[in-house]
């Protein structure tokens, strides 16, 4: 994701590959796991000894259609695109147009004198710039359209201070690669889309692949987002120009296999072998498990990147020392505990590369949490009905204890709403709007729970304070002063139905 909402980890432990992948075993696993994940379509391709040795495709490009997925069907690859952006930067480094340790302000004038101006290109590539995951997942809705959308968004980012000091810590952020996309445009003099297609996709031979340019393409696999134990297709296959550098390469499984072949071939072609190897090594002490556009797992010798966009999830994995690789593309996004695709993608990867993998384990906690969130708005609605039916008991609450019991739920539900829509999404690195974009059912459940909780507390107060009798209003006004002597006036005595001469001047305890 989104890349969404958190970076996926493989969870695979290493084992030396003993033989070519068993295509039958992979397809049998897909037949078993694909219904569990609930994805309409899937494609994969395996590289063995530098050659594509196995490919497979299952399902359809859109739920309800009769168009089958093939290994040449383009999928939105998500954050695998970051490795393409990194490769483009490295080409420009070799051409002398960019220096890895040059400051960002040298290439983008708007960053000169700004907090982010001293960030280096290497720090952007390795996610050590200081930009946070939350900053990277913020939505930009003020693009206005046009071929200069990326330039305008990056210009606006110049005034945004990174969350941390550059070079001190690793934190995955889409902002890094959005800025790098603009650096490529300035250094090359071409739009990002044109540069990548001319200098990467075409030379590699990725004939079924292209870069997001804001257009709509019927040839793409349609993304499907989770929606309460099922998945619904996106209305159109519309691409986003502004997110192209961090997630907008649209590619087929076969084409991505060609790309992985090129990265592992040890030859000077699209980039020198030396710089290919540099991309797949830890970038710095602050980035021990991320290189330049690639995650690195030294335990099992893999170099990999996952991808998540609304309705699509992907995984590309290489074993450079063994010259083996696999890419898995699915046109379905993961739900929370239900319909997750992680085990499907990791399981195919493990079988293709002969790696040990024990699965994702039980998801009962995530499932129970999701069910609780779905049921919570209805529980609040039931509580509102219950409050109305017990309205006389609410109206009878007086004194400090009664007032506290009426008002305290409002405080707790307001705090809970803030936690749900702000605090927790912030800790996860995804604003509530981004969560709703990737997982609309979860987003709806979160927002509905927050709103219904506050509405219940307000409704309860409204029931308690409207329709009270005069005596209840008077007793409520006297709450907290019952220990003080009080003189009853003629007016209050009349309300009580007593004669004025019976109570004038009488003190009541």
**Mean pLDDT, rounded, for 330-343:** 97
Percent of the chain topping pLDDT 90: 83
Q: What angle do CA 334, 338, 342 make, to 5 degrees?
A: 45
Is residue 54 within 8 A of residue 69, CB to CB? The reply is no
Q: Is the pLDDT of residue 9 over 60?
A: no
Q: Which helix (H) or strand (E) holds 438?
A: helix 432-438
Domain locations in the chain? 25-353, 364-477
pLDDT of residue 396: 93
> Comparing C-alpha atoms, which of 437, 54, 16, 484 is closest to residue 247?
437
Do the bridges between strand 249-251 and strand 231-233 make them parallel or antiparallel, or are there none, so unpaired? unpaired
Which one is predicted more confidently, 273 or 476? 273
pLDDT of residue 125: 98
Give tens-digit pLDDT for 71-86: 999 999 999 999 999 9
CA 483 to CA 486: how far, in whole Å? 9
When mean pLDDT is compared over 22-26, 165-169, 489-493, the highest value belongs to: 165-169
Percent of the chain topping pLDDT 70: 86
User: Facing residues of 45 across strands?
Assistant: 55, 327
pTM of the model: 0.87
**Mean pLDDT, rounded, for 305-314:** 97
Identify the band that residue 14 occupies on the pLDDT scale cut at 50, 70 and 90: very low
Give tens-digit pLDDT for 450-503: 999 999 999 999 999 997 765 555 555 555 555 444 444 443 333 344 444 333
> In CATH, which superfamily holds the domain spanning 25-353?
DD-peptidase/beta-lactamase superfamily (3.40.710.10)
Please state the φ and ψ torsions of residue 161, each to the nearest 5 degrees.
-75, 135
Is residue 328 within 8 A of residue 250, CB to CB? The reply is no
- Residue ranges with strand state E in 223-349: 224-226, 231-233, 249-251, 295-297, 302-309, 312-319, 324-330
Q: What angle do CA 34, 35, 36 make, to 5 degrees?
A: 90
**Mean pLDDT, rounded, for 219-246:** 97
**Mean pLDDT, rounded, for 152-162:** 94
Mean pLDDT estimate for the chain: 89
């Amino acid at each position: 994701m989104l890349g969404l909402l958190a970076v996926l980890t493989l969870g695979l432990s290493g084992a030396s590959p003993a033989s070519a992948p068993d295509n039958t075993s992979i397809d049998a696993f897909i037949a078993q796991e694909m219904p569990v994940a609930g994805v309409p379509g899937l494609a994969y391709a395996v590289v063995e000894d530098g050659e594509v040795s196995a490919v497979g495709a299952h399902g359809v490009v859109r739920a309800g259609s009769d168009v089958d997925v093939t290994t040449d069907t383009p999928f939105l690859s998500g954050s695998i695109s970051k490795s393409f952006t990194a490769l483009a930067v490295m080409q420009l480094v070799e051409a002398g147009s960019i220096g890895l340790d040059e400051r960002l302000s040298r290439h983008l004038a708007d960053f000169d004198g700004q907090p982010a101006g001293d960030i280096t290109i290497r720090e952007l590539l390795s996610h050590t710039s200081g930009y946070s995951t939350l900053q990277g997942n913020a939505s930009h809705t003020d693009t206005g359209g046009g071929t200069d959308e990326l330039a305008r968004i990056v210009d606006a980012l110049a005034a945004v201070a990174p969350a941390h000091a550059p070079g001190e810590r690793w934190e995955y952020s889409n902002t890094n690669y959005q800025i790098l996309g603009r650096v490529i445009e300035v250094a090359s003099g071409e739009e990002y889309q044109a540069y990548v297609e001319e200098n990467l996709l075409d030379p590699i031979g990725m004939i079924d692949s292209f870069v997001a340019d804001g257009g709509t393409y019927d040839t793409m696999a349609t993304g499907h987002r989770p929606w309460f134990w099922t998945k619904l297709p996106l209305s159109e296959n519309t691409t986003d120009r502004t997110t192209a550098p961090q997630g907008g390469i649209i590619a087929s499984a076969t084409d991505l296999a060609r790309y992985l072949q090129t990265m592992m071939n040890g030859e000077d072609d699209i980039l020198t072998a030396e710089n290919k190897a540099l991309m797949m090594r830890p970038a710095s002490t602050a980035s021990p498990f991320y290189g330049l556009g690639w995650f690195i797992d030294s335990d099992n010798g893999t170099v990999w990147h996952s991808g998540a966009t609304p309705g699509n999830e992907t995984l590309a994995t290489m074993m450079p020392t063994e010259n083996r690789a696999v890419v898995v593309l699915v046109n379905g996004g993961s739900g929370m505990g239900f319909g997750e695709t992680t085990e499907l993608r990791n399981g195919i990867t493990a079988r293709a590369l002969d790696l040990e993998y024990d699965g994702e384990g039980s998801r009962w906690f995530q499932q129970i949490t999701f069910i609780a969130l779905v049921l919570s708005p209805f529980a609040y609605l039931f509580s509102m009905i219950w409050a109305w039916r017990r309205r006389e008991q609410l109206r009878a609450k007086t004194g400090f204890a009664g007032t506290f019991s009426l008002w305290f739920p409002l405080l707790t539900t307001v705090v809970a709403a803030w936690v749900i829509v702000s605090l927790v999404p912030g800790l996860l690195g995804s604003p509530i709007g981004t969560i709703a974009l990737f997982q609309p059912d979860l987003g709806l459940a979160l927002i509905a729970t927050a709103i219904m909780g506050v509405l219940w507390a307000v409704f309860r107060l409204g029931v308690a304070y409207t329709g009270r009798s005069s005596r209840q209003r008077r007793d409520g006004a006297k709450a907290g002063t019952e220990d003080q002597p009080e003189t009853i006036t003629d007016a209050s005595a009349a309300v009580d139905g007593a004669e004025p001469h019976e109570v004038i001047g009488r003190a009541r305890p």
